[in-house]
Homo-oligomer: A and B are copies of this chain.
Amino acid sequence: MFENYFNKRENEILQIKKNQVLQEPGRNPARAFYVKKGLLRSYKVDDNGKSHILMFAPEGWIISDIESHILSTPSELYIDALEDSEVIKIKKFDVTFFTQVEKSNNQLIEKLVRRIAVLQKRVVLLMSSPAKQRYEHFLSTYPQLTNRIPLKMIASYLGITPEALSNIRSKMRSQ
């Protein structure tokens, strides 16, 4: 769906090295990236300096601080690369962007609603389930990602320490 849009315009294709930072907090407007190849993540750094991963974006995904975009507030997120990646920087990323890319606004709305659904699910999981169940949910929801993402980042996504996830894994092994 997005490919068409990108091909017919002069969008910037970037070759990104692993660990390269594509966006830092404070930028306004925030950037958005379409991942052609590789793997990006977005994360937030809290007051104690700890990182919390909000999403992973493998091939075919768009990643951005959509909140910052559409509300024109300074971004609070980092975006960087977990693998060497090929990404397209979306130049004009606002509401009109979607109306061009999507067949209609309704498709954008559906996308946003899906994002709400994912976040809502995650809130309930964080509130109701111990780390082990959250990890199992992650495994079944993103099976294709679990091999590509280092343990400590999965832990950061789940909201636990790397040590805790390591323990969970070892318990799961011995069962």
Q: Are B46 and A128 in contact (CB under 8 A)?
A: yes
Q: Taking chain A's interface residues, is the majority helix, strand, or loop, or is none over half, making it mixed?
A: helix
Q: Are A126 and B123 in contact (CB under 8 A)?
A: yes
Q: Mark A110-140, 1 if CB is under 8 A from B, else 0.
A: 1011111101101110111100000000000
Q: What would be 28 A-B contacts, judged by CB atoms less than 8 Å apart?
A: A46-B128, A48-B128, A52-B124, A52-B127, A54-B120, A54-B124, A66-B113, A67-B113, A67-B114, A67-B117, A69-B113, A71-B114, A95-B109, A105-B105, A112-B112, A112-B116, A115-B116, A116-B116, A116-B119, A119-B119, A119-B120, A119-B123, A122-B123, A123-B123, A123-B126, A126-B126, A127-B159, A128-B159
Q: Which residue of B lies closest to A68 (CB)?
A: B117
In the assembled complex, the CB of A42 is this many whole angstroms from the nearest CB of chain B, namely 10
Whether A109 contacts B70 in the complex (CB less than 8 A), given A52-B127, A116-B119, A126-B126, comes out as yes
> Measuring CB to CB, which residues of chain A are less than 8 angstroms from any residue of chain B?
44, 46, 48, 50, 52, 54, 66-67, 69-71, 95, 105-106, 108-110, 112-117, 119-120, 122-124, 126-129, 159
